[in-house]
Amino acid sequence: MNKHLLSAGDLSHEDALLILDTAAQLARVADRPVKKLPTLRGRTVVNLFFEDSTRTRISFEAAAKRLSADVINFSAKGSSVSKGESLKDTALTLEAMGADAVVVRHGSSGAPHRLASAGWINASVVNAGDGTHEHPTQALLDAFTLREKLANGQGDLAGKNVTIVGDVLHSRVARSNVLLLDTLNANVTLVAPPTLLPVGVQDWPCSISYDLDAPLGDCDAVMMLRVQGERMNDSYFPTAREYSRRYGLDTRRMSLLPEHSIIMHPGPMNRGMEITADVADSKRSVIVEQVANGVSVRMAVLYLLLGGIPEEGGATNE
């Protein structure tokens, strides 16, 4: 494992399986009378959120607390950032407070990388979503959910077909998922209107389709992406109704899926837009499980980054 978790693409096959196996063991802590492990006692995890988030921040907070770490929540609203403080000065403040890990969400792609490599802080940096770039722990929890549902919770995802649908252009979830699922040997198909695919997508390790019905008959899991209205400063599709007609998952499309396949969504959902309410609430939907798995996966990441000393060759803390 590296000292930081910035991109799903940095994880080797071995690292990814180690995180998933560790998460599988840690998931069972949730069933115990005392839902807490003493492992990270005395360590400080800072949740540094420059963008709004509910589930990711709460999930990281729950994960750190279950490992007995101290958690400091920092959100840009109501902090010195709204007075114009720079990322660097915020980082130096955190360093002075003795943070061991910084979980960062930022609206600018690359902010976590800057934080990790600029030498401002010694802490491990975990990317919790940067701009339209990456969201590696979301990809890990999706992979964990896929593995539990499709591969008996063991090994990788070799031969599994995963279809990712929607606003790929603005989605950090899609990029991280494509990278990680490729590492885990799954076959990924991206489905989106051409206007919502990023430049250079043809070089990603996946196939691309503009039509949603075609890949559904042979897919083990379909992952719907949120249409990110807040990032859309251009007209990417004519109307919301046309989008949901062509790229939304409704009951008819759900009936095209094979019996065993599952439906995923990273949340928050726009019900009626990319997914209809009856599909989101159907038995095949694992959206609520994804949230639960998020805590286990983030516990695994925090444990593997902070639970010991960095491996030989890595930068040392002390």
d(CA 225, CA 172): 10
Bridge partner residues of 187 (DSSP): 161
Q: Please identify, among the stretches 37-45, 146-154, 211-219, 259-267, the one whose residues bind other proteins according to the rule CB under 8 A.
A: 37-45
- Using rule CB under 8 A, residue 249 touches other proteins: no
Interface mask toward other proteins for 197-236; x: CB under 8 A: ----------------------------------------
Bridge partner residues of 48 (DSSP): 74, 104
User: Residue 5 or 165: which CB sits closer to other proteins?
Assistant: 5
User: Residue 15 or 182: which CB sits closer to other proteins?
Assistant: 15
Interface mask toward other proteins for 16-35; x: CB under 8 A: --x--xx--xx-x---xxx-
End-to-end CA gap in the chain = 18
**C-alpha closest to that of 23 among 280, 314, 298, 318:** 298
- Select from 110, 153, 267, 310 the one that contacts other proteins (CB under 8 A): 310
Q: Which residue has the tokens 């990788």?
A: 156
- Using rule CB under 8 A, residue 313 touches other proteins: no
Length of the chain: 318
User: Residue 111 or 295: which CB sits closer to other proteins?
Assistant: 295
- Using rule CB under 8 A, residue 311 touches other proteins: yes
Encoded tokens for 60: 């990281």
* CB-based contact 123:72 (threshold 8 Å): no
* CB-based contact 47:61 (threshold 8 Å): yes
Q: How far is the CB of 27 from other proteins (least distance, A)?
A: 11
Size of the site for other proteins (CB under 8 A): 23
- Using rule CB under 8 A, residue 36 touches other proteins: yes
Q: How far is the CB of 301 from other proteins (least distance, A)?
A: 10
Residues 275-304 that bind other proteins (CB under 8 A): 303-304
Number of H helices, E strands in the chain: 11, 9
The residue type at 89: D
Q: How far is the CB of 311 from other proteins (least distance, A)?
A: 4
**C-alpha closest to that of 111 among 135, 131, 82, 86:** 131
User: Residue 39 or 109: which CB sits closer to other proteins?
Assistant: 39
The residue type at 267: G
Cβ within 8 Å of residue 148, ≥6 positions away: 24, 289, 293
User: Residue 32 or 77: which CB sits closer to other proteins?
Assistant: 32
- Select from 159, 205, 217, 308 the one that contacts other proteins (CB under 8 A): 308
For other proteins, the binding residues (CB under 8 A) are 1, 18, 21-22, 25-26, 28, 32-34, 36-39, 303-311
